[in-house]
Amino acid sequence: MPALITYKTPILQDWVDYNGHLRDAFYLLIFSFATDAFMDRIGLASDDRDASGHSLFTLEAHLNYLHEVKLGEPVEVRTQIIGHDRKRVQLYHGLYKADGDVELAASEQMLLHVDLAGGPKSAPFSEQSLEALRQLSEAQHDQPAPVYVGRVIGLPRKA
């Protein structure tokens, strides 16, 4: 399967800083829009969420800023499923220049499926969503493993 492209956009004026570079917060915004599109692919589109009362919440996100992203650049997010169980999905979003090979930023995310009724609480995915996750995972089996997965931030300890 070719890369699963979940979001495309040019870098907008409101998203850049005084150097003409994409601001830190807007990387996460772009990845958040990609997660929304991923949700659509697994049966959790807006109408589905309204009908079922279920959604995904982000438990953890790691961002790696790899290259400058400048005003007006057309970019796209390529999304890969790293793993999933009955309640969680681990995603990898890579930000690329549209139709390019250079990864500009990366975000690894752990998402939890929740039932919103009576206060959010974790809940198993529907059979439809689990099947969509399984099919997407199988279709991506030939994708190379992302480089920026499982990274830990920290300074080396002094001896």
* CATH number of the domain encompassing residue 56: 3.10.129.10
pLDDT tens-digit map of 114-146: 998 888 899 999 999 999 999 999 999 999 999
Q: How many domains does the chain have?
A: 1
Q: Which of 90, 102, 97 is nearest to 35 (CA)?
A: 90
Q: Quick check: is 147 in a domain?
A: no
Q: Quick check: is 77 in a domain?
A: yes
Q: Quick check: is 76 in a domain?
A: yes
Q: Quick check: is 105 in a domain?
A: yes
Helices (H), 110-158: 127-139
Q: Quick check: is 157 in a domain?
A: no
Q: Quick check: is 111 in a domain?
A: yes
Q: Per-residue pLDDT for 157 more than 90?
A: no
pLDDT tens-digit map of 31-43: 999 999 999 999 9
C-alpha span between 50 and 2 (Å, rounded): 31
Looking at the DSSP bridge assignments, the partners of residue 94 are: 78, 106
DSSP category for residue 45: -
101's tokens: 């090979």
Q: Per-residue pLDDT for 86 more than 80?
A: yes
Q: Quick check: is 149 in a domain?
A: no
Owning domain of residue 32 = 4-139
Q: Quick check: is 48 in a domain?
A: yes
